[in-house]
């Protein structure tokens, strides 16, 4: 499979364990990697046969802001579901970065990466854990 990557999607959303994080919101940076077959799109130079990464960007922004989660793991999970639902991809990796987590004496970022595939998506749609 081929891979399409969008790294650095900037989203303002209301996720976090602390009530102030969910109330005030904060910035998150999201990276996605999508595995799909790009042969037809490349051979035909045809957007209609490709995964439109502008549409992927819109999907990520909308899904990340649609709900309020305590954990960035839950945000990444919902993004995996949304991307597998909306696009003809076989596998997805989503990394959610929290640039300024409320941790004393910490200047870095926290992040989590989830990788999911189409069989996982089917199980989730059927209600399996």
Given this model, what pLDDT does residue 129 score? 67
Q: How confident is residue 43, by pLDDT bands cut at 50, 70 and 90?
A: very high
Q: Could you say which architecture CATH assigns to the domain 2-125?
A: 2-Layer Sandwich (3.30)
**Average confidence (pLDDT) over 112-126:** 95
Query: Of 97, 98, 114, 121, which one is the catalytic site residue?
Result: 98
- pLDDT of 59 > 70? The answer is yes
* 69-to-13, 37, 76, 119 alpha-carbon distances in Å: 9, 32, 10, 25
Calculated CA dihedral for residues 38, 115, 70, 63, nearest 10 degrees? 10
Counting Cα atoms < 13 Å in the Cβ hemisphere of 21 gives 17
Q: What is the pTM of this model?
A: 0.93
| Mean pLDDT across 46-63 | 97
Locate the domains of the chain by residue range.
Answer: 2-125
Give the pLDDT of residue 27: 95
Q: What is the pLDDT of residue 123?
A: 94
109 belongs to the catalytic site: no
pLDDT band at 102 (very low <50, low <70, confident <90, very high): confident
């Amino acid at each position: 499979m081929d891979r399409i990557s969008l790294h650095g999607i900037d989203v303002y959303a209301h996720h976090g364990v602390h009530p102030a994080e969910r109330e005030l919101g904060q910035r998150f940076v999201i990276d996605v990697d999508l595995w799909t077959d790009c042969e037809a799109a490349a051979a035909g130079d045809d957007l209609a046969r490709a995964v439109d990464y502008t549409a992927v960007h819109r999907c990520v922004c909308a899904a990340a802001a649609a709900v309020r989660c305590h954990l960035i793991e839950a945000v990444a999970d919902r993004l995996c579901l949304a991307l597998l639902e909306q696009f003809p991809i076989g596998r997805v990796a989503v990394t959610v970065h929290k640039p300024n987590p409320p941790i004393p004496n910490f200047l870095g970022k926290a992040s989590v990466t989830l990788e999911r595939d189409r069989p996982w998506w089917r199980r989730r749609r059927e209600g399996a854990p």
